[in-house]
């Protein structure tokens, strides 16, 4: 059987003729609105639920980290464990080069004796994490 059938006097549809047809574009847009609307109506509640759970977990984790930080710095050392000078604005609870021992150090002692792994500086306001 050949296309178009001998009974039909319409011209065959080609890619170019479909691109030029306004009724074809209207039909495509109608299908997009219908199916995208249906998919959105089904998926949106699931996406929104996931975002709410993720947002809640992030806020809870943030409160947990804040409380952990407050618990850690509740007893701020008064003096550097190495040089004995009074700690004024920040200290570093970090690993030293002395056989891996940890100490609360002033920044100067940290530069001289810290081994550069896992130190956390605690200013009296906000923590700053040093990258190794």
Strands (E), 1-132: 90-95, 102-105, 120-123, 128-129
CA gyration radius, the chain: 34
Confidence of residue 32 (pLDDT cuts 50, 70, 90): very high
Write out pLDDT tens, residues 8-20.
677 778 888 888 8
**Residue 125 pLDDT > 70, yes or no?**
no
Task: Give dist(CA 115, CA 101) in Å, integer.
Answer: 10
pTM of the model: 0.37
In this structure, how many other beta carbons lie within 10 angstroms of the beta carbon of residue 120? 14
How is residue 112 annotated by DSSP? H
Most confident stretch, 9-13, 24-28, 64-68, 110-114: 24-28
pLDDT digits (tens, 9 = 90+) for 74-101: 566 788 888 998 887 777 888 887 777 8
pLDDT, greater one: 107 or 58: 107
pLDDT computed for residue 27 by the predictor: 92
CA distance 18 to 25: 8
Pairing of strands 102-105, 90-95: antiparallel
pLDDT at 30: 93
Each residue's pLDDT tens digit, 42-75: 988 888 888 777 777 777 766 666 666 666 655 6
Answer whether residue 115 shows pLDDT above 80.
no
Q: Of the candidates 95, 96, 91, 94, which has an alpha carbon nearest to the alpha carbon of residue 76? A: 91
CA neighbours closer than 13 Å in the CB half-sphere of residue 69: 16
Q: What is the pLDDT of residue 33?
A: 92
Three-state DSSP class for residue 78 = coil
Do 94 and 105 contact (CB within 8 A), yes or no? yes
């Amino acid at each position: 059987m050949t296309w178009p059938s001998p009974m039909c006097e319409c011209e065959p549809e080609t890619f170019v003729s479909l691109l030029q047809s306004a009724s074809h574009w209207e039909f495509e847009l109608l299908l997009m609105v219908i199916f995208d609307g249906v998919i959105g109506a089904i998926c949106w509640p699931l996406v929104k639920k996931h975002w709410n759970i993720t947002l809640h977990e992030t806020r809870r984790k943030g409160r947990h980290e804040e409380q952990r930080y407050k618990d850690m710095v509740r007893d701020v050392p008064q003096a550097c464990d190495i040089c004995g000078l009074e700690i004024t604005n920040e200290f570093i609870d970090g690993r030293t080069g002395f056989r891996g021992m940890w100490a609360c150090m002033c920044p100067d002692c940290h530069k001289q004796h810290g081994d550069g792994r896992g130190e956390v500086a605690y200013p009296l306001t906000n923590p700053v994490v040093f990258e190794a």
